[in-house]
Structure 1
C-alpha cells in the first residue's frame, strides 16, 4: 500500500481502459490507484473516479464496492465519520441483492465501525457478531483461494477488535478481555497481521490500566505504538492511556509529554476522539497549577476547538459526554486569561461585565443552536429513509370523515383514482401552481366529491393537508440531495414546490419537519462544507 512506483504501469492501464471504454477494467484501475496512492486527497479523488467507472459498468456489486472504498478513505484516512457513514449506507443499498457475501459482510463491518464511534454500541455489536461468524467460517474454508482466505482472516480479526471496543464502551470488561486474549493468540508471531496485533496490544494495555497495573499498561501500549501504522486515532488512544498511567505513577512530566503528542496529532489532522477530550483538561490544570497563563490559554482554546470538532462529527454522542469543563465555563475562562495576558488590572472589571453579558448571549445562542441541531439530525435521519417523500401515503382512515359524509364509490372508480394519485405523486404534478381539488378532479376526469373522499379515506388527511405534505417533503428532499437548492431564497423554494406564499411555505415546513427552512438550510450547508473539506475536485 502507498507505493507510488505502481503508477508507472497503472497510469497506462487506466489510459487504455478509458480509450477502449472498458469500464470494469477502469473501475479496477482506479481501485488500485486508491490503494497505491500516498496522498489522502488523491485517494479520495481516485475513489470518486472509481465510483464513476462503477456506475458506467452498470454493475451493482462494483457500485457497492466503490462506495465502500470511498467510505473507507473518509473513515480510515480522514476520520470523517458522517460522510463515511453516508457512503457505507449507499454501499448497503446497492448490495441488497448481491451474491458476494464477502462484500455484504464487509459493508456490515464498516457500518458497525461508524455506529460504534457515534455511540450506538449495542447496534454495532450485533453487526460485528454476524461478521465474526461469517469471516471465521470462510477463513477455515479450504476450498477458497488463499487470497480470499487471507481477506476473511483479516475481516475476522478486525471484527473481534471492534467487538472489544464495543464491550469496553458498554463496561463489559470480562467479555472484552476474553476476546483480547483470542486476538493476541491469533496474531502471535504472524507478520501478516502486525496492524491487527497492535490493536489487541492497545486493548490489553487499556485492560491493564483498568486493573490498576500501570507499568504493565505502559509496556503493552508502547508495543502497540511500535506496530501501529498510519492510524492516528488509535495512536492518540495509546498516548492518552500511557499519559494517564504515568500520572498514576506520579511521573507527571512523562504524562504531560504524552498528552502533548495528542495535541500534535490534533493540530495535524483536525481530529480527536470524544473520550480524549479529558487530555486537554489535564493540560489546562497542569499549567494552571504551574501558573503559566499563556499555555493555559492555549490549551483552553484547543479544548474549545476540540468541542467544536466533536459536536460536528459526533452530533449524537457529544450531548452525552461528561464535561468537567463545560463550554460556557471555558468561554469565561478563556476571556479571563486573554484579559489577564493582554490588558492588566485596570480594565479587568469592565471587561468582566462585558464578558458576562457575552457569556449570557452565548449561552442562550448555544441552547438554541443545540435544539436546532437536534431537530436537524432527527429530520436528516427521516430524509435518508427512502420512503420519506411518500410518507404522506397512509392507509389510516381520516376520523373527521363520518359515514354520513361518505359517498358510495365503486371499487373500480376508487382503484382508478388511486392509480392516478400514484402517477400524480411519482411525476411530481403536485408542484403545479394554484392547484385546487376542483382543478385536479378535472384532470382526473372525475368529480371533486369522489376525489376528496378517496384522499380522505386512503391518505388519512384532507386535500389541502395532503397537497402541502407532498410539496414540503419534495422540496426537503431536493434540499438534501441537490446542493444548488441550498442557495435559493425561501420565495424561490416555495414557488419551486407550488406554494405561493413565503410565510405559508415556512409554516408548513415547520409543521411537517419540526424545523424552520432557514435553520435546515444553514445546518445542511455546514454539513456539506464539512464533507467537502476532504474532497478534491476532479
Structure 2
C-alpha cells in the first residue's frame, strides 16, 4: 500500500515537471519570435514579416494571451492610423475569446488610446476606457487599474473637467511614486516611471487651466528633474519643456520661452502628437507676437491651420489662432485670406461645439457665431450678384427668426413645466399623507395582516430612504423585508400604483426633486452626482426618468430653480 502511494506521488510529480517543461518550451518559442522584432522603433512596419508568424502561431494554437500580445505589437509597429485601429479591433476580439479580464482591460485601453491619441475621437475613447473600467473592478492588477484611470483622466481633462481630472492624476502619481520605491524589474521600473511622468504632465495641464500657476511651476521643475537626459523619457521631457515655455510666455519672458518651446519641438514631432504640436506652434507664434514680430508669428499660426485641415481637430484653447489670423488679414487688407480664415473659424467652432458641447459659452469670445456669419456675408458681397446676396440674407434671417421662435417656445414650455412641478411639490408638502394600507378589492390569496405588515415595512423602507441603494432589485428588497419577490411584486402592483421599477423610480425622482427644492447646495452638483445621490447608476437613465416623472429635464429644472432663487434674493 505504501509503495502504491509513493508511486502515485512520483507519477504526479513527473507529470507536473513535464507540464512545466512543455509550458516553458512553448513560451520560449514565442519569446524567440518576438526577439526578432522587439528592438525595432515604434511605427516601423519592417517588423511585420516577424509579427505575422507570431500571430499565426498563436491563432493556430488558440493561445489567446499570446494572440493579444501579437495584435498589441501590430498596433505598436503599424505606421498608419487605420492599421493601428484594425489591430486594436483584433486585440479586443482575441481578449473576448480568452475570457481573461486583465486581457480585456489591456485590449480596451489600447483601443481607447488609438481613438484618443491618433483620431481625437473622445467619446469613442471614453467608451473603451469605461468598458475597461468595468473589468478592472475585479482585477488584482493595480497597474492596469491606474493605467485606465489615467486615460479616463486624460479625456476628462480634454473635455474641460479639470478638477475631476486633477484628482485622478494625483491618485495615479501617488500609486506610481509608491511603486517606484519598491524592488522592481527594469521593465517595471520603466513602465511605472513612464506612468508617473505622464500623470505629472497631465496634472500640469490641469493646473494651467485652473490658474494654479505656483503648483504648475513646481510640477514642471519636478518633471524636468525626474526625466533628466534619459532617452527613454525624451518625449516626456519635451512635454515638460513645452509647459515651461508656456509658463515663461505668460510671465513675458519671451527669450526664455522661445528657447524652451523650440527645445521641446523635436520630441513632440517624433511622438506624432499633433494636438500638443499645435499648442507648441501656437505659443511660439504668440511669443513672436509678444516680441512685436507679427510676420514670424503668422508662420506658426498657419502651421496650426495646416494641422487642422489634415486632422479636422483643434483644441478649444487654440481658437484664438484663427482670431489672430483674421485680424492679421484685416490689417493687411487681404479679403481673400480674411474670408478663408473666417470660414475656418466657423468650421472649428462647429467641431468644438460637437465634441465639447458644454464648452460652447467659453469659446464664443471675440468672434461669436452671429458676428462671424455677418462678417462672412459682407465679404461675400464682393463676389456675388446683389440679387443672390439678398436671397441668402433673407434665408439667413428667416432661419434666425425660426431658431429664436423655437428657443422662445421651448423656454416657455420649460417655464410652464417648472411651475406645474413647483405647484405639485407645494401641494404634496401641505397635504396630509394617507398611507396606502387599504386592502379592499385585493386578491383573496393575500392575507390582510401580511399585506398590512408588508406595507408598513415598505413605509419604513421609504422613510429611511432605502430606495437610494445602488443596484437595488426586487429580489434584494424582498430579502431585506423578509419576503419573496413574487409576493412583494404583487403587493407593490396593487398598493403602490405600478410595478416595482415604476415604484422605485418614482421614489428616487421624488426624493431628488424634493432635495433640489429644499437645499440649494444640490443645485451646484452635476447630473452624475445627483443620479448617484438617489441610487441611479446612469446619467442618461436619471435624466430620462426625471423627464418622464416631472415633465422637465433635470438641467432645465436646475436652471429655472437657480433663477427663481436669484430673483427672490436668496
- TM-score computed with the length of structure 2 as normaliser: 0.68
Q: Return the match for 1:219 from 259, 279, 285.
A: 259
Map of 2:318 onto structure 1:
276
Deviation at 1:410, TM superposition (A): 1.9
Cα 1:215/1:322, change in 2 over 3 Å:
farther
Structure 1: distance between partners of 2:128 and 2:410: 27
Cα 1:359/1:79, change in 2 over 3 Å:
same
Q: Does 1:172 align with 2:172?
A: no
Structure 2: distance between partners of 1:367 and 1:282: 35
Map of 1:405 onto structure 2:
438
Map of 2:239 onto structure 1:
199
8 Å CA contact 1:294–1:341 kept in 2: the answer is no
SS of residue matched to 2:171: helix
Describe the superposition over 1:420-443 as per-residue Cα deviations: whole angstroms up to 9, x where unpaired.
Answer: x958xxxxxxxxxxxxxxxxxxxx
Deviation at 1:359, TM superposition (A): 4.2
Q: Does 1:39 align with 2:76?
A: no
Map of 1:109 onto structure 2:
150
Q: Does 1:335 align with 2:372?
A: no
8 Å CA contact 1:236–1:265 kept in 2: the answer is yes
Deviation at 1:510, TM superposition (A): 6.0
Q: How does 1:409-420 map to 2 (within 5 A)?
A: 410=450
SS of residue matched to 1:310: helix
Map of 1:234 onto structure 2:
276
Q: Does 1:261 align with 2:303?
A: yes
Structure 1: distance between partners of 2:301 and 2:324: 8
Q: What RMSD over aligned residues (CA atoms) do the two structures have, in Å?
A: 3.6
8 Å CA contact 1:288–1:296 kept in 2: the answer is yes
Deviation at 1:189, TM superposition (A): 1.6
Q: Return the match for 1:126 from 137, 142, 167.
A: 167
Map of 2:44 onto structure 1:
3
Q: Return the match for 2:495 from 448, 453, 457.
A: 453
Q: Runs of 5+ in structure 1 lacking a partner?
A: 372-397, 424-443, 467-506, 517-538
Q: Return the match for 2:196 from 141, 156, 165.
A: 156
8 Å CA contact 1:455–1:462 kept in 2: the answer is no
Structure 2: distance between partners of 1:266 and 1:367: 36
Map of 1:81 onto structure 2:
122
8 Å CA contact 1:113–1:162 kept in 2: the answer is yes
Structure 1: distance between partners of 2:411 and 2:71: 41
Structure 2: distance between partners of 1:75 and 1:446: 47
Structure 1: distance between partners of 2:453 and 2:88: 52
SS of residue matched to 1:99: coil
Structure 2: distance between partners of 1:370 and 1:55: 47
Structure 2: distance between partners of 1:104 and 1:34: 21
Cα 1:147/1:364, change in 2 over 3 Å:
farther
SS of residue matched to 1:125: helix
Cα 1:33/1:337, change in 2 over 3 Å:
same
Q: What count of residue pairs does the alignment treat as equivalent? A: 429
Map of 1:144 onto structure 2:
184
Describe the superposition over 1:275-331 as per-residue Cα deviations: whole angstroms up to 9, x where unpaired.
Answer: 000100011111112111111111011001101111121122233334211112112
SS of residue matched to 1:342: coil
Cα 1:86/1:242, change in 2 over 3 Å:
same
Cα 1:330/1:366, change in 2 over 3 Å:
farther
8 Å CA contact 2:55–2:71 kept in 1: the answer is yes
Structure 1: distance between partners of 2:212 and 2:161: 15
Map of 1:187 onto structure 2:
227
Structure 2: distance between partners of 1:508 and 1:148: 47
Q: How does 1:461-500 map to 2 (within 5 A)?
A: 461=503
Deviation at 1:358, TM superposition (A): 4.2
Structure 2: distance between partners of 1:314 and 1:462: 34
Structure 1: distance between partners of 2:121 and 2:330: 33
Deviation at 1:131, TM superposition (A): 0.6
Structure 2: distance between partners of 1:32 and 1:26: 10
Q: Does 1:14 align with 2:47?
A: no
SS of residue matched to 2:362: coil
8 Å CA contact 1:328–1:363 kept in 2: the answer is no
Q: Which has the higher contact order (CA 8 A, sep 6+)?
A: 1
Structure 1: distance between partners of 2:410 and 2:206: 30
8 Å CA contact 1:331–1:359 kept in 2: the answer is no
- TM-score computed with the length of structure 1 as normaliser: 0.72
8 Å CA contact 2:258–2:284 kept in 1: the answer is yes
